[in-house]
């Protein structure tokens, strides 16, 4: 199954997410296209490529460990974390809207080809 989510928030801008649940191998690349440059994030190789070249970036596992560690320290230190949970809410609202649209058209069930576990 292929999926595409297209958002057009404002000012003639758009945001496109395309994916597949039928890929035979892991793909974690992310391509960002803007009017200024195109960036390729290769998560497995931990690189960022632009028209100026390729540089090493923090791998996804290390980044997640750093963010999680900051949440634990924030609780211990009584401060807000550098990446608060509220920062994820806009993305979660979009994902929920996509799921709701799927459910409205096809009924409440997991997306075919994707094993995410039970559907609430």
Decide: 18 and 27 in contact? Cβ < 8 Å: no
Beta-strand ranges (E) seen in 1-120 are: 2-7, 15-20, 29-33, 38-42, 47-50, 53-56
Per-residue pLDDT tens digits of the chain, which is 120 residues long? 566 777 777 777 776 777 666 666 666 677 877 778 888 888 788 899 999 999 999 887 888 899 899 999 999 999 999 988 888 888 888 888 888 887 888 887 665 555 554 444
What are the structural domain ranges in the chain?
A: 59-109
Decide: 21 and 114 in contact? Cβ < 8 Å: yes
The whole-model pTM stands at 0.52
Q: Supply the pLDDT for residue 23.
A: 67
Q: Supply the pLDDT for residue 120.
A: 46
């Amino acid at each position: 199954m292929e999926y595409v989510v297209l958002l057009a928030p404002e000012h003639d801008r758009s945001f496109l997410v395309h994916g597949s649940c039928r890929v035979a191998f892991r793909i974690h690349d992310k391509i960002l296209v803007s009017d200024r440059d195109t960036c390729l994030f290769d998560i497995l190789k931990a690189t960022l490529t632009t028209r100026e070249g390729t540089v090493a970036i923090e791998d996804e596992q290390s980044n997640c460990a750093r963010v999680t560690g900051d949440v634990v320290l924030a609780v211990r230190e009584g401060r807000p974390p550098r990446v608060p949970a509220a920062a994820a809410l806009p993305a979660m609202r979009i994902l929920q809207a996509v799921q709701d649209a799927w459910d409205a058209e096809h009924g409440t069930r997991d997306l075919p080809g994707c094993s995410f576990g039970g559907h609430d």
